[in-house]
A and B are shown apart, each in its own frame.
Chain A
């Protein structure tokens, strides 16, 4: 059973860069798509973007100018960077595996990132 674990700072200052890494265990990064989903406190789920194990990416248009994702197959990890953060980026961030048909079948436990000075 594949497991995903997010890691990174839980507190980021406004205008700085949010950086998270997702470590995949119990399975391989390839040949899957991987995605980042976030959930602001008390709100619904938001798609940030996704990355293929080859490194091809797709980002939500509203975040495209601020987001980048990368993958390290040797470490079985993929990462998220979101720059110029504001309080509106405060959320629980989940890393998720994408199965065929767009099914988000395996989720990390999520990590709360707070943007505050």
Chain B
């Protein structure tokens, strides 16, 4: 079912920078629909960390940033910390589906 493609895993040493890509198509990201990013800890519901492509909800550290270009989006985490270990999902709207689509999910590991 996933329509947005993410790398299965990314890893980095504490303090380093990692990026997660989210590749869509012309019916979702490429059509101009917003991309949102969620973090999911084990056993918990996802929580939004980036909305509207680049915006952070209050309480989310500025180490997290989002960008979007064409049919893709990216999430960057700088100054990687142990607490950043989690699964991350991108999400958007798809006009051909007339519904919401998710990325395949990326597991972030702090080495």
Chain A partners chain B = yes
Residue of B nearest to A44 (CB): B105
Q: How far is the CB of B88 from chain A (nearest CB, A)?
A: 11
- Of A17-25, A45-53, A69-77, A78-86, which binds chain B? A45-53
Q: Of B44, B89, B93, B103, which one neighbours A102 at CB under 8 angstroms? A: B93
Query: In the complex, what distance in Å separates the CA atom of A62 from the CA atom of B99?
Result: 12
Residues of chain A at interface, number, CB under 8 A:
25
Is B51 a contact of A101 with CB atoms below 8 Å?
yes
Query: Which bracket fits the contact residues of B?
Result: 20 to 34
Is B1 a contact of A50 with CB atoms below 8 Å?
no
Is A60 a contact of B34 with CB atoms below 8 Å?
no
Residue of B nearest to A102 (CB): B93
Residues A103 and B102 in contact in the complex (CB < 8 Å), given A44-B2, A60-B1 = no
Query: In the complex, what distance in Å separates the CA atom of A38 from the CA atom of B41?
Result: 16
Which residues from A are CB-within-8-Å of B52? 101, 103
Query: In the complex, what distance in Å separates the CA atom of A50 from the CA atom of B101?
Result: 12
Is A101 a contact of B48 with CB atoms below 8 Å?
no
Is A102 a contact of B1 with CB atoms below 8 Å?
no
Could you give 24 example pairs across A and B, Cβ below 8 Å?
A44-B89, A44-B103, A45-B89, A45-B102, A45-B105, A46-B2, A47-B1, A49-B99, A50-B99, A50-B100, A58-B99, A60-B1, A99-B51, A101-B34, A101-B36, A101-B52, A102-B93, A102-B100, A103-B48, A104-B36, A104-B38, A107-B46, A107-B47, A109-B44
